[in-house]
Structure 1
Amino acid sequence: MLAKVPPKRNDSKSSFKSLQKYVESRDVIDPETGEVIGWEKDSVSVETNCLDKDTAWREMLAVADMNGRVKDPVYHAVLSWRADENPTDEQMFEAGKAALKALGMEEHQHLLAVHRDTDNAHLHLMANRVHPETYRPVDVSRDYFKLDKCMREVELAQGWAHDNGPYAVHERGGKKVVNWAKETPQEWHKEQREKKVKQPTKSKDFEYRTGNESLHTYAQGQPKQDAKEALSKPGATWQDLHQSLARHGLELHPSNDKKNAFRVHSKADPEICIKASSVAEELGGGKLVKRLGPWQEPRPEIQQEKAKREYSDQRPKADPKRDPNAREEKRDERAAERRELRERYTAFTEEWKTAKAPARAAMYEDQKQRRQALTEKTQIPARNDPNQWPIDRTEKGALQRGRIRYSGQACRTERDNQGRARSLPAGAPAVVQGMDSRPGTGRRPRRNAAGSRLGLSGQAHGQRYAAGGRASGARPAPWHHGQRAARPGEAAPRHRPG
């Protein structure tokens, strides 16, 4: 027996409803076409400790909502038996309850479903990590080891064959006990790391993105075994290695000028390649040169030899747990169909682009001319050329009220006796309603020679101050921010003490 914990979702948004729908129902497959035409509910054996199996996911969700700190309360595990083993539903439910007890969730809400639609009978386990009474979540860390130990105990109790895993059954004192398969857990972890094949990131991304088989996965199968077998023979040569790879549509080429590092290329598409050392350690550059001598090109007859199999990036990835060899021919047929469809699509795209190229070029040229004409029509004149700036009535009124200044220009404005704006040469002192009109000075009131602020009591003060004098016996009224200036023919506003 084996226990597997499927990977969690990256967004931590697993759903009780979706999981229960999956474990309770099975796809309905058309026997003639092999297509999925629907799904059938209540086609599997289900056992739960909830009030009813139809409301199980609602009950679990209601309990999980009582603890808002638990981000993902859904727990899912699969218990699988060997292909030659056919346990009853009761035996599978007993194994599921034993697994819940090993995880510390025997009192938690759960649902068990038996599936027999594959070569291996298996049990789906759905549980709520939140306790229905205390609302505390259970810690499921190291659950793989807890479940594996439980599987060995179930195998002893029900009489199943022992599978490999971190735990094993040992004979001690005439009794069978379950303990670590190695002397220490560290030794078992080290052995597993050595067995595990490290897949390159690009190959992993390609398979995840397309669902097709990468060159790395393809080379890890029979091509790797044949290459290692060719190298293990006494008196092995470069030609033996080339021939072992050529049978699978692969080629070996140096990746540098020194010819001490190599890559495995696909004959069908030479641009697709991987490092030779990623296929097997024996294919590393240093080891090959040390064993076979200096690099040698494959003979012409080997290059022209027809391969028994060829790699295709349109070939769907195989599922080694379900069909390692049964559907190889169908997968090759689907790969050929995908490749043909891709070629047809590429040819159609190129033909369409060629037919539309003149019209597209004419459209781009027309848009360019229209954009150029629009740019010339609405071109903004330079800021240092006041003659190119037309002033309409709105701008003229704003200038008269002293609310707009063209900083950086060669002209400044000042109110005259008729309340109209006139131009002054650059550098001449100017006062607009008691404000400094020079660029960068801000809205600060101007002061006269005596240090008093120039008020907005009338146009006479502004005129005499601009001329360098001061009205006799008249004292400028203090200026306040937001105070309106006196208009022509209007008495100056009185100062409000503040």
Structure 2
Amino acid sequence: MLGKVGKSRVGAKSAGKSPFADLVNYVAREADGKGREVDKEEMGVLNLDADVEDMDLVIRQMNMAAAKTAKNGKFKGDPVYHLILSWQEGDKPTPKQVKDCVQHTLKALGMAECQAVWAIHHDTDNDHVHIAVNRVHPEKGIVMGPPRRDYHVIDKAMRELELIHGFRRDNGPYVTLDTENGPQIVRMSRKERAEKGLLKHGDEIGPRTTPAAKAAERSQGAPSFQEWAQWGPTNAMHDALEKPDAMWRDLHEALAPYGIQIQTKGTGMVVSTTLENGRILACPISKLDRNFTKMRLEQRLGTFTPPSPSFSQKPATTTYADFLHEAQSGHQQDGPAPHDGVAPGRGDNGQRAKRRAERQQAREDLHTRYQADQQRIKDTRRDARKALLARQKVEREAQRQDHKGRKSLFITRKVATGMGRQAATSLWAYTAASEKEALQKRHLKERHALPRTMVWRDWLEQQAAPPIEDESAKAALRGIRYRERRNDNQKKNGIEGEEVEELKPILSKLHHEIDHRRQLIHYRDAQGRDLFTDTGPRIDVHDRAESTVEAALRIAAQKYGAVDITGSSAFREQAARAAARLGIQVRDTDLQKVWQLEREAMQPKQPQRGDETQRMGKTDRPDPRPGRPGKER
């Protein structure tokens, strides 16, 4: 499990606006851009006299508690605390477990008595819970937290929850070590974690990916501009800097073929490129290499000099825009390398190559359709929005006139019933404000319902979901997820290969469960234990029993033809021997000897030459017994 503190709110700066409204509404909906509300059974509230059915009441109660600090004037900070807890892929916490995790973490932060609302989100491959917490105590009216260095407190709570509920372990400032006395949670510095190979990112193992680059990589379904620039463009910069008399002009010339420019920004420096639609992408130059800081480059090359107007820039031949188009249209390989060979005794008469060509064409058509859809939305959205705003303006004016005509009659009727004029006027003000707020909410929903352009990943998920269920979109999503986990998968026990068919159950004898949203097929035994999971281009093997490995290999052979094996050395050798016995081709170079030895061990032993001569001698002797046909007497 991992925990982090998120943004407290989006835009509650204006006076009179609730500081909790934006975050609570965000928590109550899936964060996938589709506006889907979270299932009420996967939501909960703490220390509130309201339930998940009435989010407006929840917001009002949190506002009232926070307002207590405004009266004494001692606290002028942000009363909102946004906490996010995330589980590793494969962990499926129940709402009861999630509630316990929320309460445990808030108790560790000293905020157990604070108001909070939480909801489970499934819009990524890792289930996670968003928690909106009111830092102000609902009764005491004082700020309850969080403590200094709250991320350390949160991380330790995550290790504790992993042990309590049996969730898969993760690493942070605190690490769980197995000792003779049982699991122990210990604090480790970044240096210690780097030495033990527990550090996932950071300067110790390379430039850290920025949050914006991570978000772009997910939404685009392709490596981010930062990751792409860390290869060819960075190597070109290194080559230019190797010249003894290198100048800024040499760096500009080295990056020109990639369509990249170097610019100063604030006190630092960035590299940028322009996409086909005119959008500019940029990242700090230090994210390409930690030695590429403005200070170090200027120490080496002198004060930064932008390219002069007379600079004859080389034409860009390898741009990020071209790379992105090729990646999304399927020309960049997402999954394992293509395979046209066949295992011994198997043949496909070129069917794999044919299916590969068909899938490539379908992927290109899919990307063309995506571009056409986005262009159509751009062309129609402006006129649709203009017409909607004009209609809403008319409705607001009609409501204003209606209120103007009803006000005096409303107050007169209330006074006639014995209510004081001042109380009747206040009641009218409340009634009019409620109607106005209802109209504003309806108008906001109508504006949100306008068609919007979608990023590639969200559009693919829309096309893969019912009722469309486009098979090309499903295959593209499986390829994207494989690429995102390529490095991590090498450490996990599994079998990989080129996927050319649609994802479907193959072994009917095993119990299977299809996860349509994540495009997975879970194979389980009769007791419900996970055996292996088919993700499309890869089969993750969870159980090392011989029967499980052979079953996974049979599925892999039918899907891929030939296989790559990843994971521990013991598992790879076990799977390679099983593949040899089943006649399944293994593509890993380092496993060829193991595979060949197992094949030779299966062959019947040939008789030795001496034994063969001896047997022949015995056969050629005349039989002294009479009556044997075919023998001399």
TM over 0.5: no
TM range, smaller chain: 0.3 to 0.5
Which structure exhibits the higher relative contact order, with contacts defined as CA atoms closer than 8 Å and separated by 6 or more residues?
2
Structure ranking higher in helix proportion = 2
* Rg larger for: 1
Give the TM-score normalised by the residue count of structure 2.
0.36
Give the TM-score normalised by the residue count of structure 1.
0.44
